[in-house]
Structure 1
């Protein structure tokens, strides 16, 4: 599964809407075609809603909608991760360095400097636009549900590790509160 571009990130310690959801994360497919579709209002998205009682995954596409609802008591843990593509970004610079060093041997200093600067710029842009955030849930059955996100240039939304951690902490607190309510009811 490719990483989705973050379209909306709402996380709160109090309900963020009238349906008692604490987390609402929406992502769309990345790329030029997906961007054009979002401009036309045909926006295939994936959304995670976390409320007091359940987690809901919804995927919309041109073909239709698919939803999955998980009761909070069926989730045993949450996870998050952050991938920084520094190796690939360094690879772009290394290729530019190799080409530039070949040009320097031929006494072509100005093109070598330009190629080196362009390689460094491409590497930096690649690094900042392709950092990926993974966030998900582990069900009691062992099934792992997760979604990968990356920075949105159009919506100008970038989520960091601390924001992902705070979302996971909120989900864990909701799970623990649900367990306490279930235990109190059965007592």
Structure 2
């Protein structure tokens, strides 16, 4: 099973990805993690990515695709995987389709987490206030201003990927505002898997 999780930050993708990992034994592939690993292992593509990042530039699509290609060729991903944070743009989605097609593979489903962005911002503000009240530092990503910027970036870039997959009949809308177990049931229903939570 090869899945893509799409949705804004804070939509619950990480929580549900962990449940999918536990249930189906397939790895979650985060582009950030893959990039860091390729750099740490000093693979050819990792060294190229490091040079680009050291120059203060964004890693281009062809490098990201190369890192994804290397990662999905590893043994633990042969039975399937969950992509989170990729593809972020339509050109990346097209490149992913091309990459998988050359390997005789395809994406089985795209889970589109739909959320109320105002409620997400409130949730982040509450979490930041609780963290501060507990005397702990607030994560940079948990400040409302940074979170709003990440939401805006999602709308500008990644939101265009949703229609791309809808047109291919792969996208399944998931109510990300529902209770966690209900979201899990929606996902399993979308994947047509009989599972008990």
Normalising by structure 1, we get a TM-score of 0.29
| More RCO (CA 8 Å, sep 6+) | 2
TM-score by length of structure 2 reads 0.28
More strand by share: 1
